[in-house]
Amino acid sequence: MFKKILIANRGEIAVRVIRACRELGVQAVAVYSEADRDSPHVWLADEAYPIGSAPATESYLRGDRLIEVALRTGCEAIHPGYGFLAERPAFAHAVESAGLVFIGPPGDAMAALGDKTEARRTVKKAGVAVVPGIDWPVADLDLLKKKAEELGYPVLVKAAAGGGGKGMRIVWAAEELAAAFRGAAHEAEFAFGDRRLYVEKYLESPRHIEIQVLADNLGNVIHLGERECSIQRRHQKMIEESPSPALTPDLRDAMGRAAVAAASAAGYHNAGTVEFLFRDGRFYFLEVNARIQVEHPVTEMVTGIDLVQAQLRIASGEPLWIRQEDVRWQGHALECRISGEDPWNNFFPSTGRIEVLRVPGGPGVRWDSGVVQGSEVGLHYDPLLAKLIVHALDRPAAIVRMQRALEELVIQGVATTVPFHLAVMDEPDFRSGNYDIRYVEAHPDLLRRDPGDLARRAAAVAAALLEEAARLRALPLAPPDSDATGREWRRGASLTRPWRGSWTGR
Amino acid sequence: MKYVVDVEGEWFEVEFRPNGVRVDGRPVSVELVEGDVRGAGPNSGILAHLLLDGRSFTIAARRDDARAVWNLELAGRRLTVSAYEARRWALQGQRALAARAAGAAAGPFELTAPMPGLIVDVEVAAGDLVRKGQGLVIMEAMKMENDLRSEVEGIVTAVRVQPGQTVERGELLVVIEPPKEDGGETPENG
């Protein structure tokens, strides 16, 4: 095992990797941008070094600086987390040629899979079904148009270097293609530095189901079952669960074997995810995510296998210590992504200071977070603040547990997706497990739930009290006791301090 | 002091008397604790805890001073609530109601930036006729491009931004005047 590694990331995933390091007795070196000096990943690491200013291009994307810090501090390996440099073959190669270990797949395998069209060619050869589409990227709009017409609309225009929904557009008719082409290329250039696109048939209403694989450096590959990730908004996953309500044991087995075949064909090492679209009992290869994924905890909860520790063990050269037949799945796990996005305002990014944070706890609840009370949430990085994960004996129990955990969670100062998650947990189609990737579109009134008579009454009383308190605050010279109605308001010692009080009556 | 409270169309009377609180004339026991934290950020507010006849509610509250309403969030639900002092209710409340009723029908549609970001493209020019749902401005924020669309049909009367410009949250981008109801000016198609 390594003695010391560098974590080339921030936020909740950096914290997650540090936790794995601690449990394995590995020293963790963090890096931070100017915006992240006062962050949990910096506090929790054994060492931490600045790598530049707030924009990621000046810090977390500066591969040269990351490698320099790793070498200077005596690290043996670099863990890239997800996002940033995690799936950039050039970075993996640079790490390798600096004499360090990249905790992930070999740069060549990553390059082969990162090019989505090459990935399609590779897995097809291994006998895995892919979504109908072209297997080579095109740079020319007219050619793309021709291919789209051959496939028949709707089609999906995708960045060859894509992932995470960036650089991707659904096109319903020929006249929308030019705008989609431009937008996707621009986004792809910005996100991946590569504007090449390809096109595939847009499958309407599939489920998004992915298989976690673990592959050691000796060619042993196993799978750890599926994650159901169909609750998405604009191609961004919001809720994940394992097992999927849609899979039978036979289908799980077949998908698992296809995933293992795909990973083997690509020469994949370390932890990876093979994504499939699933519809009418059939599954189609979508892509391989050559990294640890945001939603990895649901697999950890049902298998009991620590995936980040597994990444470190594999990268340090250890052969796989689990055989496929030893993998056991127990119970049901759910994850809700708590993002700084305002569900009441079209999920637009929300910024500010987390003024109050009350984290849920109790049986079967896990909180993987990159923020604490007092953290500043800005616009420089991904809006994911934390992940709330629950584990229970079965799906209904997991849903109820998630519901109560979300009710315990209080975040004040930044608008978050918590109300969305609460609404989904209460919604009949989700509860029955009968949903696909169009779930969010198909439930536009999700957030317009009737609060009930009690809550409306409480809201009326609270608003009147708050209005009255505001009115009293606006009377700086009048002692509160002199006001006929404010007789029992208690006020802080100083008028300049924040007001705090209570009204007790009856 | 008596308040007339509008909870999204349902009305309550909340009265504070020296001997207690009444809701719609009936005495209730009430205890509200306001949190200490009161930041100045765009999403700051008050975190309060209310005991109403012993029932427990954690409430996040933000006052929208411009509209004189409270946005309350409790149990994952959001409620827009107006509390009027009863003696002023006749004037304030009626006016607010009238404005709300009128607002639905008339007035220009003003597209404002929903967040800070970079204007990538402006898809319309002054004088253009736009459909409801038509894209007006493409804005980039958080590495994603967002297509900001018109909520009304009408004529573009002002474009306040150009590509390459960075904007703050709430900044006015485009103004659209809905077609007049009575005149024969509404063109059939764009």
Residue B118 at interface with chain A, using a CB cutoff of 8 Å? no
Residue B28 at interface with chain A, using a CB cutoff of 8 Å? yes
The reply to whether residue A349 touches residue B142, judged by beta carbons under 8 angstroms, is: yes
Residue B168's pLDDT is 84
Which residues in chain A are classed under CATH 3.40.50.20?
4-103
The reply to whether residue B144 touches residue A466, judged by beta carbons under 8 angstroms, is: no
A456-480 pLDDT, tens digit each: 999 999 999 998 888 887 775 444 4
The whole-angstrom separation of Cα A242 and Cα A341 is 25
**Residue B172: is its pLDDT beyond 80?**
yes
Which residues in chain A are classed under CATH 3.30.470.20?
123-130+204-330, 332-444
The reply to whether residue B144 touches residue A187, judged by beta carbons under 8 angstroms, is: yes
Model confidence band, residue B185 (pLDDT cutoffs 50, 70, 90): very low
The whole-angstrom separation of Cα A135 and Cα A118 is 7
What is the CATH number assigned to the segment(s) B2-105? 3.30.700.30
Count how many residues are written for chain A. 506
The whole-angstrom separation of Cα A162 and Cα A168 is 8
**Residue B100: is its pLDDT beyond 80?**
no
Mean pLDDT value across residues B169-180:
82
Active site residues of A: 291
B21-78 pLDDT, tens digit each: 999 999 999 998 987 666 777 778 889 999 999 999 999 999 888 777 899 999 889 9
Residue B106's pLDDT is 58
The reply to whether residue B44 touches residue A413, judged by beta carbons under 8 angstroms, is: yes
- List the one residue out of B42, B24, B4, B37 whose CA is nearest residue B169: B42
Residue B152 at interface with chain A, using a CB cutoff of 8 Å? no
Fold assignment, B109-177: OB fold (Dihydrolipoamide Acetyltransferase, E2P) (2.40.50)
Residue A482 at interface with chain B, using a CB cutoff of 8 Å? no
Q: Cα-flanking dihedrals φ and ψ of residue A266, to 5°?
A: -85, 0
Residue with tokens 């709009």: A141
Model confidence band, residue B150 (pLDDT cutoffs 50, 70, 90): confident
What is the CATH number assigned to the segment(s) A4-103? 3.40.50.20
Which residues fall within 8 angstroms of residue A278, CB to CB, at 6 or more apart? A206, A207, A208, A209, A244, A246, A247, A284
Nearest to A467 among B20, B73, B83 (CB): B83
- List the one residue out of A491, A470, A464, A471 whose CA is nearest residue A480: A491
The whole-angstrom separation of Cα A340 and Cα A400 is 24
Fold assignment, A132-201: Dna Ligase; domain 1 (3.30.1490)
From the first residue on, what is the mean pLDDT of each consecutive set of 10 residues in chain A (506 residues)?
Answer: 98 98 98 97 98 96 98 98 94 97 95 90 95 90 90 93 80 92 88 87 94 97 98 94 97 97 96 96 94 98 98 98 97 98 92 94 98 94 97 98 97 95 97 96 92 94 90 63 42 31 46
Which of chain A's residues have a Cβ under 8 Å away from the Cβ of B78? Answer: 344, 419, 447
Which of chain A's residues have a Cβ under 8 Å away from the Cβ of B32? Answer: 461-462, 465-466, 502-503
The neighbouring-strand residues paired with B28 are B21
The reply to whether residue A351 touches residue B43, judged by beta carbons under 8 angstroms, is: yes
The amino acid present at A175, given as its one-letter code, is: E
**Residue B189: is its pLDDT beyond 50?**
no
Residue A260's pLDDT is 98
The whole-angstrom separation of Cα A69 and Cα A50 is 9
The tokens describing A176, both together, are 């929308």
Extents of the domains making up chain B: 2-105, 109-177
**Residue B93: is its pLDDT beyond 80?**
no
Q: Which of B77, B121, B122, B136 to mutate to test the interface with A (most CBs of A within 10 A)?
A: B77
Residue A482's pLDDT is 42
- List the one residue out of A505, A463, A469, A482 whose CA is nearest residue B17: A505
The whole-angstrom separation of Cα A102 and Cα A311 is 10
The whole-angstrom separation of Cα A422 and Cα A405 is 10
Report ipTM (2 d.p.): 0.82
The reply to whether residue B81 touches residue A505, judged by beta carbons under 8 angstroms, is: no
What is the CATH number assigned to the segment(s) A123-130+204-330? 3.30.470.20
Within 10 angstroms of residue B39's Cβ, the number of other Cβ atoms is: 15
Residue B163 at interface with chain A, using a CB cutoff of 8 Å? no
Query: Domain A332-444 has what CATH class?
Result: alpha beta
Residue B107 at interface with chain A, using a CB cutoff of 8 Å? no
Higher pLDDT pick, B187 / B49: B49
Residue B131's pLDDT is 81
Q: What angle do CA A119, A115, B118 make, to 5 degrees?
A: 140
B108-142 pLDDT, tens digit each: 888 888 778 889 999 898 888 888 778 899 888 76
Which residues in chain A are classed under CATH 3.30.1490.20?
132-201
User: Could you tell me what percent of chain B has a pLDDT over 70?
Assistant: 82
